[in-house]
Amino acid sequence: MTVSTDLQPHYQVDGYEAFTALAFEKQWSDGLPLVPPTPHVITQFLDSVDLAPDTVIGTVPSRDIEITAEVVAANAVMAGCSVEHMPTVLAAARAHLSPLGNSHCVTATIMGAAQIVILNGPIRTRLGVISGDGAFGPGSRANATIGRALRLIVRNGVGSVPGGADRAGYSNPGRYSFCFGEDEERSSWTPLHVERGFAPDEDVVTVASVTDCYAMFERDGGDPESFLRRLSRLARCRPILPDGYLGENRFVLLVIGQHHRALLERAGWSKADVRAFVYPLLAAPHTHGAGVSCDHGMHPAGDSAACSLDGVEKADNVLIVAAGGDEPPLSWVIYSHMAAAISTPIVSRYEPNVKLVPAY
Amino acid sequence: MTATSAVPIGIDWETTLEIVDPRSGQRAIDKRRVQRAEAPRLATLRGRTIAFINNGVASADILQQALKVALAEKYGVADFVEVFKPSRSVAPTAEEWALVHERADAAVTLWGGCGSCSSRSMRDAIELEWNGIPAVTIVHESLVPSAEAMRRMSKMDGYEMVVVPYPAQAQFVWEPELLATVVEEILPKVVARLVDPSVA
């Protein structure tokens, strides 16, 4: 397949140093060095998914922007991806740019939302995606570059440059890259993608825009109920922001570590059991005056003792992922920000009508 | 498929490189061929209908209510169309746009109290202008860069906004005394953005 990359402006630079200077001058970089996006490499990336450069991958209507395959490929190259990562980056971009990904909102917010990329299926092994020790990075090329590629697409494709459309007050180190796999091999639990209607052997990406990440250290888990009660109390520290556009698609993500999975799995608890137990605790009315562990400040004024995870409308929106190393005994509560968690298949050849869960 | 192939492919690090710009152009806006210009301003607000496009952020509701009272009492505005968006950073629905286009002579979009809502609120005003309805957006001073970014992306660089300064806070619901002070300060500016100065 012969493809042209004449749609985008081209620059001639004298070597890598000159390219680096150009990239910083043009604000293409997240602050780290980039791999030069040359037409030759971009063409290889596009060929790997059988895409013409002008194929529109997604749009941001509030900004009149169309993100083309060529832009996706150029940013994947710059992030340091190999050509084998391109289908995953493409799927992540499509998920983020789908309507419930709410791209304008989550990339212009003062809250500095990061885009988490969660991978399921055999592709984790093929690409060397880490899901155990060091899952949240750094250390793996696949984790680092796939997550970085999506963030560079947000920056250069969507147009959210810090100081311009990106208004993040503090931003978030997860915005350099935040990609990990679910530890399907070391868990008896149903993987996230299977829970969302995909086949076990399908390769699936889930993209979630998130803000706060709270870790719970729990050495003596005791019984599953007492562990999950404590985890739920932590999760009730703050609400999920109200949003009529998302419908019933606001979510909270629980990443359950190996230590805590062992406690739960030994007792025969499935993800569905965990969800059924914690959801009523998360959604309970504001009656927990005693024992509240923190107050985020996002609860109504004068209601500081009334922590509740308002905003998760149904138990299915408590997403549970198995990841992390054997130690320490940590699990994480990660809060969504104004977007749904979108799952979509990673396919070797581009298909115009792709399955998105949830659909708009 | 393996993860072992090297990148970059075929790059000589010291010779001339051809680089592809990785940014999206604004292809969609060019396709639409919209008239990127402000709508004609009104001769007067008296007897006219003003639309409010409200994103519900922080003091948006109380600011809208106070402006309605002031516009009716001091400038003779006859009627209002009120759109309460379902989310702070999305466009009004097609039905809401249709209602505004059918009934409103001018519009106020608010409130620029956060990052994505201030830029979307600016965009609401710009789209109204493109459809022939004079509009103004109200933004907190801390979010002016956000609104500026949106007007730049919309190719409306000179488009003016009304700015609310500190001590009013972008993310707080203001006390009545502060609200009154804000309205007193910005009301003439809002009106000035909607009315033709050569007539007024």
Residue A221: its pLDDT value, please?
Answer: 61
What 3-state DSSP class applies to A94?
Answer: helix
Interface check for A297 against chain B (CB to CB < 8 A): the answer is: no
Rounded CA Rg of chain B:
21
Contacts of A78 in chain B (CB under 8 A): 22
Confidence of residue B60 (pLDDT cuts 50, 70, 90): very high
CA-based nearest distance B127→chain A, Å: 10
In this complex, which of B7, B18, B32 lies closest to A10 when CB atoms are compared?
B18
A9: closest chain B residue by CA = B21
- Mean pLDDT over B25-31 rounds to 72
Tens of pLDDT, residue by residue, chain A (360 residues): 434 456 789 999 999 999 999 999 999 999 999 999 999 999 999 999 999 999 999 999 999 999 999 999 999 999 999 999 999 999 999 999 999 999 999 999 999 999 999 999 999 999 999 999 999 999 899 999 999 999 999 999 999 999 999 999 999 999 999 999 999 999 999 999 999 999 999 999 999 999 999 999 988 768 999 999 999 988 888 878 778 888 889 899 999 999 999 999 999 999 999 999 999 988 886 654 544 445 556 655 444 444 456 678 889 999 999 999 999 999 999 999 999 999 999 998 888 899 999 988
What 3-state DSSP class applies to A238?
Answer: coil
**Residue ranges of B 57-96 with Cβ closer than 8 A to chain A:** 85-91
**Which two three-digit tokens encode residue A244?**
């009529």
- Mean pLDDT over B129-143 rounds to 97
**Contact of B110 with B58, CB cutoff 8 Å:** no
In this complex, which of A22, A59, A62 lies closest to B120 when CB atoms are compared?
A62
By residue count, chain B amounts to: 200
Enumerate residues 6+ apart whose C-beta is below 8 A from A109: A167, A168, A337, A338, B89, B114, B115, B116
In this complex, which of B18, B91, B116 lies closest to A109 when CB atoms are compared?
B116
Interface check for A167 against chain B (CB to CB < 8 A): the answer is: yes
**Residue ranges of A 78-137 with Cβ closer than 8 A to chain B:** 78, 80-85, 102, 104-111, 126-128
Residue B41: its pLDDT value, please?
Answer: 97
Contacts of B61 in chain A (CB under 8 A): none
DSSP A103-159: HHHHHH-TT--EEEEEEESTHHHHHT---STTTTSSS-HHHHHHHHHHHHIIIIIS-
Question: Is the pTM higher than 0.90?
Answer: yes
Taking CB atoms and an 8 Å limit, are B18 and A11 in contact across chains? yes
Q: Residue A108: count other Cβ atoms within 10 Å of its Cβ.
A: 30
- Mean pLDDT over B118-147 rounds to 97
Task: Report whether pLDDT(B80) > 80.
Answer: yes
- Beta-carbon pairs below 8 A across chains A and B: 211
- The pairing of beta strand B135-140 with beta strand B106-112: parallel
Rounded CA Rg of chain A:
21
- Which residues lie across from B135 on neighbouring strands? B107
Contacts of B115 in chain A (CB under 8 A): 108-111, 166-168
Contacts of A109 in chain B (CB under 8 A): 89, 114-116
Among A11, A13, A44, A105, the residue to mutate for chain B (most B Cβ within 10 A): A105
Residue A298: its pLDDT value, please?
Answer: 61
